Copies of this chain bind each other. A is one copy, B any other.
Amino acid sequence: MLAARWHPPSYDIRVENVPVPQIEDPDDAVVKVTLAGLCGSDLHIYRGQQPITKVHITGHEFIGEVVKLGSNYGPNAARSTSGRPNLYATLSVGDKVVAPFTVNCGECHVCRLGYTGRCPVGALFGSPKLDGGQAQYVRVPKAGGTLYNLSSPASWSSALTATSDVETLLENISDSSLLLLSDILPTGVFAATQLLAHPKVQPMLTGRSWPSSLNPSSPTIDLGSGLLTQEDRLLTIAMIGLGPVGVCAAVALLDALVQKGLPYRIVAIDINQSRREKMEKVYEAIGSDGKGQNGEFVVQGLEEAKETVAKWTGDVGCTGVLEVVGNNSALTAAYDLARPFGVITSVGVHAPKNVPFTGQDLYNKNISFDFGRCPARAMFPMAFELLVKRQDVFGKVGTESSLIDRVVDIKQASEMYRAFDQGQVGKVLFDPWDQA
Using a CB–CB cutoff of 8 Å, the interface residues on chain A facing chain B are: 79, 83-86, 106-107, 109-118, 120, 145, 154-158, 190, 193-194, 197-200, 202-204, 209-214, 217-225, 228-229, 231-232, 314, 316, 326-328, 331, 339-341, 346, 348-373, 375, 377-382, 385
Q: For residue A232, which residues in chain B have a CB less than 8 angstroms away from its CB?
A: 109, 112-113
Contact, CB under 8 Å: B362 / A349: no
State whether A222 touches B113 (Cβ < 8 A): no
Contacts known (A114-B203, A219-B382); A362 close to B355, Cβ less than 8 A: yes
- Distance in angstroms from A383 CB to nearest chain B CB is 10
Contact of A367 with B362 in the complex, beta carbons under 8 Å = no
Q: Return chain B residues, CB-CB under 8 Å to A361.
A: 352
Identity of the chain B residue whose Cβ is nearest the Cβ of A197 in the assembled complex: B199
Q: In the assembled complex, how far is the CB of residue A336 from the closest CB belonging to chain B, in whole angstroms?
A: 16
Nearest CB to that of A159 among chain B residues?
B219
CB pair B358 A350 closer than 8 Å:
yes
A212 CB contacts on chain B under 8 angstroms: 114
A403 to chain B, nearest CB (A): 22
Among residues of B, the one whose C-beta sits closest to the C-beta of A118 is: B340
Q: Which of B219, B225, B365 contacts A156 (CB 8 A)?
A: B219
Q: Which residues of B are found within 8 Å of A114, using beta-carbon distances?
A: 203, 209-213, 221
Which residues of the partner chain B approach A356 to less than 8 Å between Cβ atoms? Answer: 354
Contact B350 A225 (CB under 8 A): no
The one of B200, B359, B367 in contact with A331, judged by C-beta atoms closer than 8 angstroms, is B359
A350 contacts B362, CB within 8 Å?
A: yes
Which residues from chain B contact A331 at a C-beta distance below 8 Å? 359
In contact, B350 and A359 (Cβ under 8 angstroms): yes
Most interface-central of A83, A223, A316, A348 (chain B CB within 10 A) = A223
Q: Which residues of B contact A109 (CB under 8 A)?
A: 231-232, 314, 316
Contact of A371 among B348, B367, B378 (CB under 8 A): B367
**Which chain B residue has the least Cβ–Cβ distance from A106?**
B223
Known: A350-B358, A353-B358, A363-B350. Contact between A372 and B341, CB under 8 A? yes
Q: Give 5 new A-B contacts, CB below 8 A, not counting A158-B219, A210-B375, A327-B359.
A: A85-B222, A116-B221, A218-B382, A220-B381, A351-B359
Distance in angstroms between the alpha carbons of A145 and B223 in the assembled complex: 7
The reply to whether A86 and B222 form a contact with Cβ atoms under 8 Å apart is: yes
Residues from chain B with a CB closer than 8 A to the CB of A352 are 358-361
**Which residue in chain B gives the minimum CB-CB distance to A155?**
B222
A389 to chain B, nearest CB (A): 14
Residues in chain B near residue A228, CB distance under 8 A = 112-113
Chain B residues, Cβ within 8 Å of A351 = 358-360
Choose among B217, B328, B366, B371 the residue that contacts A366 (Cβ–Cβ < 8 A): B371
Chain B contacts of A213 at CB under 8 A?
114
Give the CA-CA distance A229 to B109 in the complex, in Å.
9
User: In the bound complex, do residue A378 and residue B83 qualify as a contact, i.e. CB atoms below 8 Å apart?
Assistant: no
Query: What are 21 of the A-B contact pairs (CB < 8 Å)?
Result: A79-B224, A83-B224, A85-B224, A86-B222, A109-B314, A110-B340, A114-B209, A114-B221, A145-B223, A198-B199, A221-B380, A222-B381, A331-B359, A351-B359, A352-B358, A352-B360, A355-B357, A355-B359, A366-B372, A368-B368, A368-B371
Q: Are A112 and B381 in contact (CB under 8 A)?
A: no
Cβ of A222: which chain B residues have Cβ within 8 Å of it? 85-86, 154-155, 381
Please name all residues of chain B whose beta carbon is closer than 8 Å to the beta carbon of A385 when the two chains form the complex.
Answer: 219
Judging by beta carbons under 8 Å apart, are A328 and B372 in contact? no
- Which of B359, B368, B373 interacts with A328 by CB under 8 Å? B359
A375 vs B203: C-alpha distance in the bound complex, in angstroms?
Answer: 14
CB distance B224 to A106 under 8 Å?
Answer: yes
Separation of A84 and B55 alpha carbons in the complex (Å): 69
Q: Are the C-beta atoms of B382 and A372 separated by less than 8 Å?
A: no
CA distance A50 to B113 in the complex (A): 45
In the bound assembly, the distance between CA atoms of A120 and B315 in angstroms comes to 10
Interface contact B366-A368, CB-CB below 8 Å: no
Q: Which 3 A-B pairs have the closest CB atoms?
A: A350-B359, A366-B372, A114-B210
* B350, A221: Cβ atoms closer than 8 Å: no
Q: How far is the CA of A316 from the CA of B111 in the complex (A)?
A: 12
